[in-house]
Chains A and B, each alone.
Chain A
Amino acid sequence: MIDVRNVKQTYGKKVILQDVTFSMNKGEIVGLLGPSGSGKTTLIKALIGMSRPTEGEIRVLGIKQPSLKPMKQIGYMAQSDALYEELTARANLAYFGRLYGLGGKNLKKRIQESLSFVNLDSETKKAVQHYSGGMKRRLSLAISLIHNPQLIFLDEPTVGIDPALKRVFWNEFQRLRDQGKSFLVSTHVMDEAERCDRLLIVSDGRLIDAGTPEALKQTYGTIEEAFLKAGENLCKS
């Protein structure tokens, strides 16, 4: 699904990512764990082809990024809600659905499915600007899944969502994974990290460790310890 080799990303003189190498298989939920400012978002943006890596190579679904070719198979939920506030949830979904090439009955069906998945079916007539923070998050997630993508990038998807709904989300992620979809989820929340199949620990633009939550627990004691270790690295540099 994803193959990243020696990726380095700089903005001006500032090095954001360095020596990033990892790969990801079909049907996996991979968590990107690390403190704020460690480069998680930059890595996700490079993976979806928004930026061109300064060095190294990124292949997504077998295609060298940046490229528009794999975009139809990629779902993306940004860290901040990127929604058209004047429009309704339905209009937002329809817009992005059409950009992914959906149309007609299929589009209608997907909009309905996505809305009920995120529990927004009853609020579709309201303009998004009247939504609560959690509702906007849910709509953003619905948009990232509208075109039934194979590979989904979620940048801190559950910020501002209550625990009950968070559980619903993760059950759904795992159900979709069992159908063969793959997820790369950035997070700094421990209970989410525990539900990933594999974790990549990011610190100061480098991958400092990787493994299943169980393996990391054996090394560090708890996942929290692994996370704090990453934070220490960041402070030192």
Chain B
Amino acid sequence: MQILTVAIRVIQQVIKDKRTLLFLLLAPVFVLGLLYVIMGSSSDEPNIGIIDLERSLQESLEAEAHIIEFPSEEEALQAMKTQDIDAYFYMEANTPYIEIEGGDITKKSPVMQAIQSSLQTFQKERAEEMKEDFEVMQDELAIVLKNMQQQTGQSIPIDFSEVDLLMEEPEINYLYLDENADLFDQVAPALMGFFIFLFVFLIAGISFLRERTSGTLERTLATPLKRSSIVFGYFLGFFLFVTIQTVIIQIMIVDILHVDRLGSYWLLLFMNIIVATVALSLGLLLSTFARTEFQLLQFIPVAVITQFFFSGIFDLSNAPGWVMFISKIMPLSYATDALQNVMIRGYDFSDIANDFIVLIGFTIVFILLNMLVLKRQRAA
């Protein structure tokens, strides 16, 4: 009952504070929309300069990249220095030379891909020509041998094996996602978890902090209210908004931006709400250690951004042991793992049960710690 009283008051407060409400609900939509546009807007076609290339090689490269012809290496180099081209390419005798700008690492692999794939096509064409020539030679040799047979009466075995110089192109199949998936598809689950975490952490933390600085927390604790009730009341009150926010973020990512999703929509939503729950309990806890809003903001680089780095957005498989250890004690690592596996790999609940248990464990620990530190506010 007391929990409900606190929860209702928290809800009333948030509804009255229109700006906070809008921030809570719209900021993630805005940020995610922007990111989607930014991540989808890199061009796949690099600009490659060429100097005096063989006709067929130039044609196969044109299929992969935007081509600009240069009469000399100096001019190509000049164009690369002014960033008009990402690389230039020329042949000397039978050796291909590739000069890459290198200042923009995102262009490196498209350039290499374009050139390598065109070289492959070029070599394949050459090999096909060779094969044709060889087959003509075989046929001619067969005629010569037959004539010899007739003239000498001797039997000469004429049995050439089928010429097979070429390996067929590999057939590529994807277990998850496909060749159309871009960077945003890959990081969307992690981003979703991160933004839910960040926004919930901020709002919950600042509200609870304000309660302390305005003296209302102390005043509330000078009633028969139990310490646990205020924590759970806050939890319950914010849970409503956090759920709405989570639904909005998920609708944005899954339904509006159409990021590929293999797993169950409802399991994803459930896990997102669990992520929000952890953030809620951590925000409430850390706000106890801040005296002002500014001090609370100082926790963000430590408690939130670091988690983002360690959470599996970057590949940590080769990281030293202590990095792995830090990653293991961060709630967002488990959140990202679960969200990625549900969204991209279509795991069901039993596959992510471990992540779920760890996240719930974090929440319980944070809530218990919070009750403990509230003792500073009220002795009993």
Contact = CB atoms under 8 A, between A and B. Distances in A.
Interface of A: 48-52, 65-68, 71-72, 74, 76, 78, 80-87, 91, 95-96, 98-101, 127, 143
Interface of B: 1-2, 5-6, 8-9, 12-13, 16-17, 214-216, 218-226, 377-380
B228 to A, nearest CB: 11
Contacts of B215: 78, 80-82
B336 to A, nearest CB: 35
A99 B216 contact: no
Contacts of A67: 380
Contacts of A91: 9, 12
Contacts, number: 78
A12 to B, nearest CB: 13
A51 B218 contact: no
Nearest to B233: A99
Given A68-B226, A76-B222, A100-B224, A87 B9 contact: yes
Contacts of B216: 82-84
Nearest to B214: A82
A210 B354 CA distance: 65
Contact of B223 (A52, A85, A99): A99
Contact of B378 (A50, A80, A84, A98): A50
Contacts of B378: 49-50, 66
Contacts of B13: 84, 86-87
A50 B224 contact: no
B218 A68 contact: no
A86 B216 CA distance: 12
A9 to B, nearest CB: 11
30 contacts: A49-B378, A50-B218, A50-B221, A50-B377, A50-B378, A50-B379, A66-B378, A67-B380, A68-B225, A68-B380, A71-B222, A71-B224, A78-B218, A82-B215, A82-B219, A84-B216, A86-B12, A86-B16, A87-B16, A95-B5, A95-B8, A95-B9, A96-B220, A96-B223, A98-B2, A98-B5, A99-B220, A99-B224, A100-B223, A100-B224
A52 B12 CA distance: 33
